[in-house]
Structure 1
Amino acid sequence: MTKNKPNQGARKTEALTLRLDPKVRFLIDLLARQKRQSITGVIESAIETYATNFHIEADLWSEEDGEDKTQTVSMYKLSKELYTTDDSFRFMMLVWHCPRLLSYEELRLKETIYSSKFFWDQYPDSTNAVDDIDTDLLREHWVSLLKHVEEHKSSPTVVPYESK
C-alpha cells in the first residue's frame, strides 16, 4: 500500500518488498553509507543507471519524420515517454509504442479493447488505431473493463466489452 510521508506532500511512492542475498543487502548498506543516501536512494539510482544503459526498440515520435518511428532508446527514456499517472492512458501508450513488452494478461486486455466496438471512434478502421480508440471513453470505463477482462479470463476467446 502506498503511503505519503509527512514531508513528501502530494508526492506518492510505491512500497516494494524484496528478497536479497545478505551479501547484496550489506553491499547496498555500504553504498548508502558512502553516498550518505538512504537505501531507497541507492536502489533508485542504480535502477536509473541500469535503465539508462539498457536499450530497446520502440515506436516513438520522430521530429525529423513528423511521425512515430521505430527507434532504439534507453529503457529510461522509454519510461519517461510513456509514463502518466492515468493507468488507462499509460497502458495504451505501452500498447502503441512498445507492444512487445505486454504480458499475457495485458495482451488479453488489449485484444478486448480492440475487439470492443464501444471504444472505437470508427470501428473497424484499423488504419490508424491510435486515433480511432476513444481514450476518454476508455478512461471512463477503465475499472469496469478491468473487471470484465478478469471475469472472462478463462474464456477461450476474447469477450468484447459492452457498456452496462
Structure 2
Amino acid sequence: MTKNKPNQGARKTEALTLRLDPKVRFLIDLIARQKRQSITGVIESAIEVYATNFLIEADLWDEETEEDKLQQVSLYKLSKEIYSTDDSLRFMMLVWCCPRLLSYEEVRLKETIYESKIFWDQYPHSVNSREDIDIDVLREHWVSLLKHVDEYKSSPTVVPYKPI
C-alpha cells in the first residue's frame, strides 16, 4: 500500500514550459545552488519580488473611506486581493478591480455577462458595480457561459446568454 504525502492534493500547481537563453538557464541554476532551492523556487521568488516592485492602479477597498477607491498598489498585492480558486469569482474580481488588464476575449466575456439579465441582481443598476452581478448565478452558469461566448466569438455584436 502506498502512503499519501502530507500535502498531496492540498496544493495544485501549474506546469509551464519556457524557452530560455542557455546563459539565463545557467544563471538560474547557479542561484538555485547558492540558495539551496529548486529552480522552480528561484523563479517563483523572482516573480514575487518583481511583482512586489511593479506598481499598478486598481480599484480596491479603502479602509479609510470604506469604499472602493482607485489606488496605486503592487501587482503582488493586487494578485492577493483578487485571486480565488473559483474561476468565475477571480474573473469578476479582475473586471471590478483592474479592467485595463483584460484581454479582448475577456472583455467580450465581461460584455456578455453585463448584457445578460440572468446575472444581474437588479437589471440594470449601474455598470461595473460589484453589487450588481449575482456571483452565485454566474458560478452556476460559468461553464455554459464560456461555451456560449466561444460559440458567438465571431459575431459582430455581443449575444446575451440565456440558459437553456
Q: Which TM-score applies when normalising by structure 2?
A: 0.94
Question: Where does structure 2 lack aligned partners over 5 or more consecutive residues?
Answer: none
The superposition leaves residues 70-129 of structure 1 with CA deviations (integer Å, 9 ceiling, x where unpaired) of 110000000000001100000000000100000000000000000001111111111673
The letter of the residue matching 1:19 is: R
Counterpart-to-counterpart distance in 1, 2:90 and 2:72: 20
What SS is found at the alignment partner of 1:124?
Answer: coil
Count of matched residue positions in the alignment of Structure 1 and Structure 2:
160
- Structure that is richer in helix per residue: 1
Instruction: Determine if the alignment matches structure 1 residue 158 to structure 2 residue 153.
Output: no
Instruction: Tell me the CA shift for residue 8 of structure 1.
Output: 3.3
The letter of the residue matching 1:146 is: L
Query: Among the aligned pairs, what percent are the same residue?
Result: 79
Instruction: Determine if the alignment matches structure 1 residue 8 to structure 2 residue 40.
Output: no
Question: Where does structure 1 lack aligned partners over 5 or more consecutive residues?
Answer: none
Counterpart-to-counterpart distance in 1, 2:6 and 2:37: 17
Counterpart-to-counterpart distance in 2, 1:128 and 1:106: 14
What SS is found at the alignment partner of 1:125?
Answer: coil
Q: Is the 8 A contact 2:108 2:149 kept in 1?
A: yes
What SS is found at the alignment partner of 2:124?
Answer: coil
RMSD of the alignment, in Å? Answer: 1.3
Q: Which TM-score applies when normalising by structure 1?
A: 0.94
Instruction: Tell me the CA shift for residue 150 of structure 1.
Output: 0.3
What SS is found at the alignment partner of 1:19?
Answer: coil
